[in-house]
């Protein structure tokens, strides 16, 4: 990859509606606009919403969204606040054995509650049918509710296992649920989102993974490192069909030592998968996998020993890579069209 520019002093980077958002210690640059910010401000983008979060003296999050000129504070009913996009957002909390939810969709507010002795986190929303996914805070149950509070079904994990909540995803009308045991991936299951009917299960550990990303033809992809006899390690690409549970696997490269390969933070753009090889001892690299040929086509060293490299952000012509401890944003040419 050819380095185009190296920006210093960038404490965070976001791509918002194809505009570069550069966060510095005391200011934020959004396209051509420069705004002053508070030291405690945190910024993120969810689909088409760029928002700012500041916690008050009681550690309650105050959220505001960017309207093209400034950040505008919004009213939320409950303590925990979350955007799905500019038209949908939710707030929720748990008090005295009751789960309280306020879900705003296109200006209409749906409020519901249910009795519970356990706390749940909101994982996300299926936009087509507006189904809320609620996960037990320690990964024991997954609940499915409509926006009006109708409980559709629930998923309970087997004894000794936990739901890997960051890996739960919805593809059309299929919900994919990965589970772990002793922090290792142990199974992946597919269910009908509306009915809870179990459609398939993958319980071969070689084909299981924590988190997948959706790629061409709605197939799911993940990278895994496999340790071999003699201390070597292999990088594998795993493909999962979310509709049938069918899996495929391909070896991409081999390392001499067990700590040579540690894939993390994958992102798919077009038919290419970009990932960070997060090895602090050796120095990190950014790799590119062609999902059509199932081949590793690039692995660029970053010479960033001992630092954390964040997930690449990819556009038609650029690849953005931020090195956290250095507050450094490297911009590479995207040659992989």
* pLDDT tens-digit map of 71-110: 999 889 999 999 998 889 999 999 999 999 999 998 899 9
Measured in whole angstroms, the distance separating CA 53 from the mean position of its chain's CA atoms is 19
- Amino acid 284: pLDDT: 85
pLDDT for residue 316: 94
All residues at 6 or more sequence positions from 230 whose CB lies less than 8 Å from its CB, including other chains? none
Classify the phi-psi angles of 11: left when phi > 0, otherwise alpha if psi is within -120 to 50, otherwise beta: alpha
Q: What is the pLDDT of residue 240?
A: 94
From first CA to last CA, the distance across the chain in angstroms is 13
Cβ neighbours of residue 226 closer than 8 Å, sequence gap 6 or more: 206, 233, 234, 236
Cβ atoms within 10 Å of 131's Cβ, excluding its own? 20
Q: What percent of the chain has pLDDT over 90?
A: 62
Residue 303 burial by CB count (10 A; 0-12/13-18/19+): exposed, middle or buried? exposed
Q: Which two tokens stand for residue 90?
A: 């939710």
pTM for the full model?
0.90
Compute the average pLDDT of residues 128-151: 88
pLDDT above 80 (res 134): yes
**Which domains are assigned to the chain?**
212-337 (2.130.10.10)
**Max intra-chain CA distance, the chain:** 61
Closest to 154 in 3D by CA, of 136, 142, 139: 142
Kindly give, in sequence order, each residue whose CB lies less than 8 Å from that of residue 142, ignoring residues fewer than 6 positions away. 123, 133, 134, 135, 136, 154, 155, 163, 168, 177
Q: Count of residues for the chain?
A: 337
Mean per-residue pLDDT, 29-51: 91
> Is pLDDT of 3 > 90?
yes
Q: Give the Cα separation of 134 and 170 in Å (integer).
A: 13
Please give the average per-residue pLDDT across 205-227, as a whole number: 86
pLDDT of 282 reads: 63
- Residues 276-305 have pLDDT tens digits of 988 756 668 899 999 999 999 999 988 777
Is residue 258's pLDDT more than 80?
no
CB atoms within 10 A of CB 137: 12
Q: What is the pLDDT of residues 168-211, one digit of tens each?
A: 999 999 999 999 888 888 899 999 999 999 999 998 776 778 78
């Amino acid at each position: 990859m050819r380095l185009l520019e190296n920006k210093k002093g960038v404490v965070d980077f976001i791509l918002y509606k194809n505009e570069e958002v550069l966060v510095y210690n005391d200011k934020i640059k959004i396209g051509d606009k420069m705004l002053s910010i508070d030291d405690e401000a945190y910024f993120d983008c969810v689909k088409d919403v760029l928002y700012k979060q500041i916690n008050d003296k009681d550690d309650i999050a105050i959220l505001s969204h960017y309207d093209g000129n400034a950040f505008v504070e919004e009213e939320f009913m409950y303590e925990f606040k979350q955007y799905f996009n500019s038209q949908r957002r939710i707030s929720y909390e748990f008090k005295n054995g009751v789960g309280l939810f306020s879900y705003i969709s296109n200006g209409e507010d749906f409020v519901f509650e249910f009795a519970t002795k356990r706390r749940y986190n909101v994982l996300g929303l299926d936009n087509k049918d507006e189904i809320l996914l609620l996960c037990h805070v320690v990964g024991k149950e997954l609940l499915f509710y409509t926006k009006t509070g109708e409980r559709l079904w629930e998923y309970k994990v087997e004894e000794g296992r936990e739901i890997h909540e960051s890996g739960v995803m919805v593809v059309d009308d299929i919900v994919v649920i990965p589970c772990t045991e002793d922090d290792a991936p142990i199974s992946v299951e597919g269910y009908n989102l509306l009915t809870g009917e179990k459609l398939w299960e993958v319980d071969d550990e070689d084909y299981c993974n924590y988190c997948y990303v959706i790629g061409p033809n709605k197939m799911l992809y993940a990278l895994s490192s496999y340790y071999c006899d003699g201390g070597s390690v292999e990088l594998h690409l795993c493909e999962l069909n979310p509709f049938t549970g069918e899996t495929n696997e391909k070896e991409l490269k081999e390392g001499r030592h067990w700590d040579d390969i540690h894939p993390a933070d994958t992102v798919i753009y077009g038919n290419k998968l970009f990932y960070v090889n997060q090895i602090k001892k050796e120095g990190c690299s950014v790799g590119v996998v062609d999902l059509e040929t199932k081949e590793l086509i690039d692995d660029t060293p970053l010479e960033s020993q001992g630092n954390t490299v964040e997930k690449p952000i990819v556009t038609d012509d650029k690849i953005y890579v931020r090195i956290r401890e250095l507050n450094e944003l490297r911009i590479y040419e995207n040659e992989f069209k």
